[in-house]
């Protein structure tokens, strides 16, 4: 049976450096939960605290109803997958997977069955007698995964498990991990600095920075309603347009703007309007609709194969990027460097965040 995880006030500091600043977090049973953040944000420290490799300075950590914050790692029943796989080179594939079962005194016959099942689960059937050194990166990753789940742990922890793989393999493994999670329904905590990976795989994501959780929610909510400049910039690409807000009026780049989403400014009403590059259209004329409209000067058009990126400068000097499909042949005509263009976006697609 897997279990939910709940944390209250978990903290950890190294001297004067605060690695974890009173983390409160609830992860549901069976959830695929991702800790996302740049290096040094505390995401790996938090994972190591859950695993028991790093001792927190204080706080509460529960698996289900059991307090585990003082429990040594070997009694916590967690499966851990490391970035470098950490397979035991002096054991073959089967022995690696059988290791946690041996420690639990599972009888040899049952052990063999379970190892076979685990190998099948990660699609490595028949490779049980390979030496670890003979495996490819992707295969090692699968063995590490099989070893971490074979003993049916309460939670599965993964620390950047795919970052050592090349791009194609990484995407393939993302799909497989997701599939595996759906079949095992195991509470999974996944650490990554790759926002694309986090969005594609997770039920929920917590964005971390400086030892704190900045924002937490479903991938779609994080992408569409960032609550801070940090999240807006860290997840996906964003255009940030300086605006000032007075009452219900939003003025930015010399225009009166309408904002459908969340509005958050500092005390003097300053903020940044966040608009994603793919939500901006290039329009020909000022026609009467409720879209926000701005004037800009085109700088450059970059052909990326699957899309076109237009770089332009707004009247207040803000640089923005606009993405559109390559089938919009006309874009390349319109956006000659130096040409004046009109852009528009839907009020519902934008939010305003604080300047810092």
Partner 1 sequence: MSQDTNYIPHWHRAWLYILLALLLAFLAAPIFVVIPVSFSNTSTLQFPPESLSLQWYVRLFSSARWQSSAYNSMLAALLTVCCTIPLGIMAAYGLNSIRTGLGKFISATLMLPLIVPLILVAIGIYFLYARLGLINTMVGLVAAHTMYTLPLAITMIAAGLRRFDRNQEMVARSLGANRLKAFMTVTLPQIKFSVMSAGFLTFIASFDEVVIALFISGGSNATLPRQMFNQLRNSIDPTIAAISTLLIALALIVFAAMQFLKSNEA
Partner 2 sequence: MNEIAVPPLRRDSGIAPALAKDARRERSLMIGLALPGLFVVAAVLLSPVGWLIWQSLVDGEGHFTLHHYLSLFSEPKRLSYLQNTFLLSAEVTVICSLLAYPLAFALTVLPERLRKFCMFFVVVPLLTSVLVRTYAWLIILGRRGIVNNVLANLGVIDEPLNLVYNYFCTVLGMVHVMMPMIVLPLYAAMKSIDGDLVRAASSLGATPSTAFRDIFFPLTLPGLFAGATLVFVLSLGYYVTPSILGGGKVIVWAIFLEQTVSFNTQWGPAAAAGLLLLGATVAVLVLARTLVGVKANQVEL
Q: What does 82 interact with, of partner 2, partner 1, none (CB < 5 to 8 A by kind)?
A: partner 1
Q: Is 210 in the site for partner 2 (CB under 8 A)?
A: no
Q: What does 309 interact with, of partner 2, partner 1, none (CB < 5 to 8 A by kind)?
A: none
How far is the CA of 261 from the CAs of 133, 136, 143, 241, in angstroms? 53, 47, 45, 15
What is the phi/psi pair of residue 10, to 5°?
A: -75, 125
Q: Write down the least CB distance from residue 89 to partner 1, Å.
A: 7
Residue 1 or 247 with smaller CB distance to partner 1: 1
Q: Write down the least CB distance from residue 51 to partner 1, Å.
A: 6
Q: Cα–Cα distance between 347 and 250 in angstroms, integer?
A: 11
**Positions 27 through 56 that interact with partner 2 (CB under 8 A):** 55-56
Q: Cα–Cα distance between 36 and 57 in angstroms, integer?
A: 22
Residues 6+ apart with CB under 8 A from 33: 27, 187, 188, 189, 190, 202, 203, 204, 205, 206
Pair 2, 154: CB distance under 8 Å: yes
Stretch that binds partner 2, among 160-168, 209-217, 247-255, 267-275 (CB under 8 A): 209-217
Q: Is 58 in the site for partner 2 (CB under 8 A)?
A: yes
Q: Is 17 in the site for partner 2 (CB under 8 A)?
A: no
How far is the CA of 52 from the CAs of 4, 345, 356, in angstroms? 16, 48, 34
Q: Write down the least CB distance from residue 222 to partner 2, Å.
A: 11
Residue 154 burial class via C-beta count within 10 angstroms: exposed 0-12, middle 13-18, buried 19 and up: buried
Residue 94 token pair: 């089967």
Size of the site for partner 1 (CB under 8 A): 26
Binding mask 97-126 for partner 1 (x = CB under 8 A): --xx--xx----------------------
Residue 101 or 206 with smaller CB distance to partner 2: 206
Please identify which residue in 13, 14, 17, 24 interacts with partner 2, judged by CB under 8 A. Answer: 24
Q: Is 224 in the site for partner 2 (CB under 8 A)?
A: no
Q: Write down the least CB distance from residue 26 to partner 2, Å.
A: 5
Q: What does 80 interact with, of partner 2, partner 1, none (CB < 5 to 8 A by kind)?
A: partner 1
Q: Cα–Cα distance between 313 and 301 in angstroms, integer?
A: 13
Q: Is 73 in the site for partner 1 (CB under 8 A)?
A: yes
How far is the CA of 38 from the CAs of 126, 207, 208, 233, 349, in angstroms? 39, 9, 8, 12, 26
Q: Is 59 in the site for partner 2 (CB under 8 A)?
A: yes
Residue 55 or 179 with smaller CB distance to partner 2: 55
Q: Is 70 in the site for partner 1 (CB under 8 A)?
A: no
Please identify which residue in 44, 141, 215, 238 interacts with partner 2, judged by CB under 8 A. Answer: 215
Q: Is 216 in the site for partner 2 (CB under 8 A)?
A: yes
Pair 146, 98: CB distance under 8 Å: no
Place of tokens 């529960």: 62
The partner residues of 293 in beta bridges, in order of sequence, read: 344
Binding site for partner 2 (CB under 8 A): 8-9, 22, 24, 26, 55-60, 69-70, 215-217, 227
């Amino acid at each position: 049976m897997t279990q939910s995880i709940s944390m209250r006030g978990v903290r950890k500091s190294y001297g004067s450096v605060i690695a974890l600043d009173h983390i409160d977090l609830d992860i549901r049973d069976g959830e695929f939960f991702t800790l996302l953040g740049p290096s040094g944000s505390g995401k790996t420290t938090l994972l190591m605290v859950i695993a028991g490799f790093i001792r927190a300075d204080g706080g509460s950590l529960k698996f289900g109803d059991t307090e585990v914050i003082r429990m040594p790692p070997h009694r916590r029943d967690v499966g851990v997958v490391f970035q470098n796989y950490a397979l035991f080179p002096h054991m073959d594939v089967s022995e690696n997977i059988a290791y946690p079962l041996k420690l639990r005194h599972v009888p040899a016959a049952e052990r063999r069955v379970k190892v076979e099942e685990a190998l099948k689960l990660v699609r490595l059937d028949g490779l049980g007698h390979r030496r670890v050194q003979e495996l490819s990166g992707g295969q090692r990753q699968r063995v590490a995964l099989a070893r971490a789940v074979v003993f049916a742990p309460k939670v599965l922890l993964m620390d950047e498990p795919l970052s050592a793989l090349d791009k194609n393999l990484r995407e393939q493994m993302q799909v497989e991990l997701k599939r595996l999670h759906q079949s095992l329904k195991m509470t999974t905590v996944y650490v990554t600095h790759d926002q694309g990976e986090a969005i594609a795989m997770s039920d929920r994501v917590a964005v971390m920075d400086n030892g704190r959780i900045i924002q937490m929610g479903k991938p779609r909510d994080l992408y569409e309603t960032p609550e801070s400049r940090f999240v807006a910039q860290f997840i996906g690409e964003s255009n940030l347009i300086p605006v000032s807000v007075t009452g219900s009026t939003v003025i930015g780049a010399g225009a009166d703007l309408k904002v459908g989403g969340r509005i958050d400014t500092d005390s003097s009403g300053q903020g940044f309007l966040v608009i994603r590059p793919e939500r901006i259209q290039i329009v020909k004329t000022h026609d009467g609709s409720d879209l926000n409209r701005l004037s800009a000067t085109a700088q450059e058009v970059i052909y990326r194969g699957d899309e076109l990126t237009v770089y332009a400068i707004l009247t207040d000097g803000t640089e923005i990027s606009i993405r559109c499909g390559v089938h919009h042949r006309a874009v390349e005509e319109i956006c000659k460097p130096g040409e004046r263009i009109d852009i528009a976006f839907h009020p519902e697609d934008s939010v305003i965040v604080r300047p810092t």
